[in-house]
Amino acid sequence: MAFGIYIHIPYCLQKCLYCDFSTTSLEDPISPEEYIQLIIKEISTRHQEIPEKTVDSIFLGGGTPSLLEGFFFQLLFKRFKDSGFVFSESIEISIEMNPETVSERKIEDYLKIGINRFSLGVQTFKEDFLKRCGRKHTPQHSFKALEILSKYHLNFSLDLIYALPNQTLDDLKTDLHQALEFHPLHMSVYELTVPSHHTLSQGRPIEPTQIEMRQVIQETLENHGLFKYEISNFSQKGYESIHNSLYWSQQDYWGLGVSAHSYLSPKRFWNPYHLPTYKKQILKHLKIKDLPPSQKEVLSLSQKLTELCYTSLRTTKGLCLDQLNPFGLQIKEMVLSKIKNLQKRNLITIKDNHVSLTPEGELISNQVFVELTFLPTEIEFSSS
Ligand code: SF4
């Protein structure tokens, strides 16, 4: 079993229109210095409640963690180690970076403290689209950042967003080709998701174009040696993200900082979304066991089963049918009958005891996931 740590750094240079993460500006009354001290307190208060001590991945996410200097993260790493955590020899330490924050000095600073994976949020190389999304960085910032990452031969991932308002198939192809010129070892290509009333939902490519876009992404990236291992993630063999894979295989992780979520099977808990509330809880030395009911839950059997199907079917490896054994024979049979129904419609395939989405199923994956959502009543009925 692998174990990971997620650290949320909420500071950003802007608020992008499509973003619903917990973010704030550098001018927030809670400064980065104070915020890091809060996370240090969180480690001290709660570390004894975390059973796993060997850390396989740390993900510095946000927000824009790359707004902060390396010594802030060094303080956190030291506190983890002083609290009994051991970083595994092959630990992956990733940081999310916005292009305008990348410099050679900063990369060297991060490398020195052990950060070994860089995730660059390019989103698109087209200036109009960046502006429309409310982002401050320009294509020039992205090119410069990518030149630096390439120069240092780093393990880096490049993030793109597609299905943006007024984006054509050719725009997407241009984005993909410009990205591939820098030979990233990993790419995450996410479809823009906003509710129908959102300002960015106007003028988006129609459904058939979006489907074509997904096909173009996969074909283009695979032709350049980046293989799909999850619905939105592609990498060269051996460069899959350890941290994200941990989420998709129901492994434990501890999330620290404002709004961060944790999963220590079978419990899930999370910190407040708003920074002042987070600060209040941390200053009160609130332990995990004392979090209010609105910030924790024990996964029911139906939730566990739904999550297992949902997360494993997102990956190309798929769901191993043996993973259904702990749920009992009757539940396994009930799930299998749903799976066979989906198989008949060519939405999923079963091979070598593994179930995975077919290309057709992937195109309507949300629909497939709805059919594999289990209600408590169904589970009780099957297990009774
Ligand atoms: S930079 Fe990232 S985290 Fe910050 S507002 Fe934009 S999308 Fe959200």
Residue nearest to atom 5 of ligand 1 (CA): 15
- From the list 192, 199, 150, 141, the residue with the least C-alpha distance to 171 is 192
> What residues form DSSP beta bridges with 157?
119, 186
Ligand 1 centroid to residue 195 C-alpha, Å = 17
The whole-angstrom separation of Cα 280 and Cα 38 is 10
How do residues 269-325 score in pLDDT, each as one tens digit? 999 999 999 999 999 999 999 999 999 999 999 999 999 999 999 999 999 999 999
DSSP annotation of 192: P
**How many other CB atoms are found less than 10 A from the CB of residue 273?**
13
pLDDT at residue 79 tops 70:
yes
CATH T-level topology, domain 301-383: Arc Repressor Mutant, subunit A (1.10.10)
How do residues 167-207 score in pLDDT, each as one tens digit? 999 999 999 999 999 999 999 999 998 998 999 999 999 98
pLDDT value at residue 384 = 52
Task: Give the residue, out of 64, 142, 164, 200, with the most ligand 1 atoms within 8 A of its beta carbon, to mutate for a pocket test.
Answer: 64
Ligand 1 centroid to residue 98 C-alpha, Å = 9
Domain spans, the chain: 3-246, 301-383
Ligand 1 site, CB within 6 A: 12, 15-16, 19, 21, 23, 62-64, 98
The whole-angstrom separation of Cα 22 and Cα 224 is 35
The whole-angstrom separation of Cα 235 and Cα 187 is 6
Residue nearest to atom 3 of ligand 1 (CA): 63
Q: How far is CA 323 from CA 305, 308, 343, 381, in A?
A: 10, 8, 19, 20
pLDDT at residue 12 tops 60:
yes
Extended beta strands in the chain, E state: 3-9, 54-62, 86-97, 117-123, 156-162, 186-191, 227-230, 233-235, 252-256, 261-264, 267-270, 296-298, 319-320, 348-351, 354-357
pLDDT at residue 52 tops 90:
yes
Q: Does domain 3-246 have CATH number 3.90.400.10?
A: no
Domains 3-246 and 301-383 share a fold: no
Ligand 1 centroid to residue 208 C-alpha, Å = 28
**How many other CB atoms are found less than 10 A from the CB of residue 377?**
9
- How many contiguous H segments (helices) and E segments (strands) does the chain have? 14, 15
Q: What is the DSSP string of 63-97?
A: S-GGGS-HHHHHHHHHHHHHTT-EEEEEEEEEEEE
